[in-house]
Chains A and B, each alone.
Chain A
Amino acid sequence: MITKEETGLCEHALGYALANGATKVRVTLAKSQEDLIATLNGEIDRVTHCLDRSLSVALFCEGKFGSFSTNKLEEKALDDFVIKALNTVRMLAVDSCRDLPSTERCEKNAVSGNELELVDPGYHDISPEQRKRIALDASIFGKPGESCPELVSEEGEYSDSIYDTLLLDSNGTRCRHTETSFDYGVEMTVEVDGDKYSGYWWHSSSRLNGLRYGECGPKALKRAMGHAGAVPVKSGKYNMVIESDVASKVVSPILHALNGYSIQQNNSFLMDSLGKKMFPDGVNLVDLPHIKGNSCSKLFDSEGVATREGPIIENGTVRQYFINTYMAGKLGMAPTVEEPVRPALMSWPEKGLDSRAIMKMCSEGILVTDFNGGNCNSATGDFSYGIEGYYFKDGEIVKPVCEMLITGNFLKLWKNVIAIGDDARECMSKLIPTLAFSKVDFSG
């Protein structure tokens, strides 16, 4: 997708910056195309065509650093941009920790961009009519046997896109990543006894033939209808089971706390945790960045550093911080990668568990199917989130619940982990399965 001319522009920008005083330079060109068809109640509602290009330049000059981007890519405009950027960098304070990553750390095998087989070879052959047909096929509004009288609104969105990224730096690093993505998501709103309830479901794949759009409508409708009559249950401590499609909510703050920026700024509830046992034995979190054909896999990070498979948390012990070149200098630690690519939580205490099996294991509690707002104090790990889902007893769903809150601290929450399932959705960027915790404070 990135043309020879555009590659030439990147090389020109890099050379022009060096010729005008930069000591080191990184240039990244990100190009994408997206076509989107939105439907409302079984009819085409919106058609969108997007084509984006953005050139980013990281400049190191006189011990100083700045980061700039533009989508004005004519050569003259680009030259003016580089000169203005260099003038801006010169006004900043010297920061001796800023540097490009060493070439030894950088990826050398991302040449074609498709080494991880994330490009659907048929992408460019998809016609506008085919897109419309998929969007309309996916709709179940008004279709006998699939829709229902309670359905008042169905809003669906099909999109296909291609992303192409080229990274060059003045140390000679050259990496490319190309990926296609096919996505369908649908929001259903139903009205039951005068009250409205909504449900959403989506699927995504790097290949069109891997997109399971047909399952989205029925699943979203089932979720909306399942919430009918939801009310809060009595406040108290319950077992909490979190469905896999929303379970990353209680993992993302951990990854944020392990980031070098958070550590360096003392803005982390996992300060000084490297090599320490902070979680129970059963917690094993690994990064799996190189799975071929798996959306979001990537060979290099935004600095061009090669990603690698390895443990983040091993048997409860923290094994990795995410430290880029800058933070390595600031912290006086060895650099790793900027952030995890495909973090995956391994099943425990046994393989093959899904939400149903885990509810049986817990016997009684609340199954969380969605979060509604809330936040986490990144310095302390204290959190409070709105939730909705179902109260279950003897492993079976009893009634829907809504308008409830969970409140606690992430380190304490994870100390009470009961089970980690084996049902992560492959279409998500984080492979987090169904999770279960005991003694969680619910307010309602």
Chain B
Amino acid sequence: MNNSDKFGLTVNQLQSLVAEGLKGGGDWCDLYFEDTTYTDLLLRDGEVNAGGFNIDYGCGIRVLAGERTGYAYSETTDYPSLLSAARAAAGIASSGRFTAVACNAKPYQSYSMQKDWRSVSSGSFVPFLEKIDKGIRARDSRAIKVVAMLSYSVSDIMMYNSLGELTCDCRPLGSISISVIFSQGGQLEKSTASRSFRKGPEMLDDALVEELVGLAVKGIDERFAARRPKGGKMSVVMAAGASGILLHEAMGHAFEADFNRKGQSVFADRMGKRICPEGINIIDDGTVPFNRGSIRYDDEGVPAQKTYMVTDGVLTSYLHDRISASWYGVAPTGNGRRESFRYNPIPRMRATYMESGTDGTLDDLVASVKKGVFVDQFANGQVKIGEGDFTFYVQSGFLIENGKLTMPVKDINIIGNGPQALSDIAAVAGDLRIDNGTWTCGKEQSVAVSCGIPSVLINNLTVGGE
């Protein structure tokens, strides 16, 4: 089975479109068909009183001439419209010929949805959101406002390229995001919680309600009591899980091969060199079951894989799309991703994490710090690729004084330099956890990712404060 019927084209027509794209002299052409339905339901003020869906349908056509890209798309998939898009994309090259190759269909791949989201009425998910609302209010009477949103999408994808490879996929993604306002003595505080999986509606069970309610009310006493620390350079213990944002911002982006190919990354000339202490392995993985960042194929039809970026402290691989892989003379790593058919693929992360270390437990790491901060909940981050300066925003944590957690802290930004932070990793605990929050990376285009890390101790990060 493949999706060519769904998009109303024959294999012969796919071949003709590729031939048209390469008529101008390009050396690669691929077609990316997408039919996505995105649905959301919103609970506000105790009732699920808003919802909707968005249908997005079309085909992107890319032509490469060396590293140069021509890209066009059409929101209809009738042959004449696609032919016009192929001609527009072909404008990147000036001359050349294409010989048609036989179609090589890859097996149809689907994520293991027990039930397709599209086969269930969205109204049946209303009780799930209501349980979350009631659970939060029952657990903490200070909760005065709860907003909970369920969003889910299913994308039917078909890719065809000038190697004759036909690849089809069906990608589900379900997410729940919660925002709660608490009031205590006239003071307001806010908490957020989210979970996201590549699963069908079977993910919406009581265990998930319980997990989300627990996350939403966690640490509220501490947030009301929290203060800003005195800012400056200090040791930072990062809890397992969401602290993986450190890897995403401080290292992951700088390992994306397009930045390195263009000479912009701080790691552009560091391949094969030691960049952090021995024993540390940093991975970008598209194969973690049901993970938000996982993909069966990337958006160039390359099978997903587990890519070791850092092996035993040495930089061993960038994250490649087909362009950078060809430029570096290596195989693509399955990182060519895009937001939708409207965008050309570029190297992007999937699930980025560090393997467990051997330096004991989180408690051991905290006990080893005389003065520093412990951080466990995060919002957003950013990096400057050339300089390597990265930041991430901490929603909650504690001061560490003489090996003990003391005053709660909140709403502080932490800044560091990627290469320096990597070499300043002083300890890695054995408790790797991959976070299942709704992480979205915004490098030119938005794509679903995730991150994880064991508890780590990093020296000399700059902590914002008063």
Interface residues of A (CB under 8 A from B): 40, 43-53, 64-72, 81, 84-85, 88-89, 91-95, 98, 128, 152-153, 155, 187, 189, 195-198, 227, 230, 232, 235, 265-267, 271, 330, 372-375, 377-380, 382-386, 388, 402-408, 441-444
Q: Which residues of B contact A195 (CB under 8 A)?
A: 387
* CB <8 Å contact, A52 and B75: yes
List B residues at the A interface (Cβ < 8 Å).
41, 44-45, 47-58, 67-75, 85, 88-89, 91-92, 121-123, 126, 144-145, 147, 179, 181, 183, 188-190, 228, 231-233, 249, 262-266, 268, 342, 344, 379-393, 410-417, 462-466
Q: Are B415 and A404 within 8 A (Cβ)?
A: yes
Question: Closest residue to A97 on the B side, CB-wise?
Answer: B49
| Contact B264–A374 (Cβ < 8 Å) | no
Query: How many angstroms from the CA of A373 to the CA of B55 in the assembled complex?
Result: 32
CA–CA, A25 to B45, complex, Å?
A: 24
Write the chain A residue with the least CB distance to B146. A265
B380 adjacent to A384 (CB under 8 Å): no
22 contacts between A and B (CB under 8 A): A44-B92, A45-B69, A50-B73, A66-B50, A71-B58, A93-B47, A152-B264, A196-B268, A235-B232, A265-B181, A267-B188, A373-B393, A380-B188, A386-B413, A386-B415, A403-B462, A404-B462, A405-B412, A407-B231, A408-B466, A443-B232, A443-B465
Given A85-B53, A377-B190, A153 contacting B73 (CB threshold 8 A): no
Q: Which 10 A-B pairs have the closest CB atoms?
A: A443-B231, A91-B123, A373-B391, A373-B382, A405-B464, A384-B413, A196-B386, A386-B391, A198-B386, A95-B49
Question: Which residues of A lie under 8 Å from residue B55 when comparing CB positions?
Answer: 69-72, 81
Residues from chain A with Cβ under 8 Å of B382 in the complex: 372-374, 386
Complex interface: chain A residues within 8 A of B122 (CB): 88, 91
- By a CB distance below 8 angstroms, the chain B residues around A52 are 75, 342
Q: Closest CB-CB distance, B357 to chain A, in whole Å?
A: 26
Contact A373 B123 (CB under 8 A): no
Asked whether A47 lies within 8 Å of B71 as measured between CB atoms, the reply is yes
Main SS class of interface, A: strand
Give the residues in chain B near A91, CB-CB below 8 Å: 51, 121-123, 126
Which of A51, A95, A405 makes the CB contact (< 8 A) with B231? A405
B409 CB to closest chain A CB, in angstroms?
11
Residues of B contacting A88 in the complex (Cβ-Cβ under 8 angstroms): 51-53, 122-123
Give the residue of B44, B57, B387 whose beta carbon is less than 8 angstroms from that of A197: B387
Residues of chain B with a CB closer than 8 A to A46's CB = 68-71, 92, 344
Find chain B residues with CB under 8 A from A71 CB.
55-58, 75
Q: CB-nearest residue of chain B relative to A194?
A: B269
Cβ contacts under 8 Å, B266 to chain A = 196
B417 and A403 contact, CB distance less than 8 A: yes
Is B412 in contact with A72, judged by CB distance below 8 angstroms? no
| Other A-B pairs beyond A88-B52, A373-B390, 17, CB < 8 Å | A43-B68, A44-B92, A49-B85, A68-B54, A81-B55, A92-B49, A128-B91, A153-B264, A265-B44, A267-B179, A372-B382, A372-B391, A382-B410, A407-B231, A407-B413, A407-B464, A407-B466
- A266:B144 contact, CB within 8 angstroms: yes
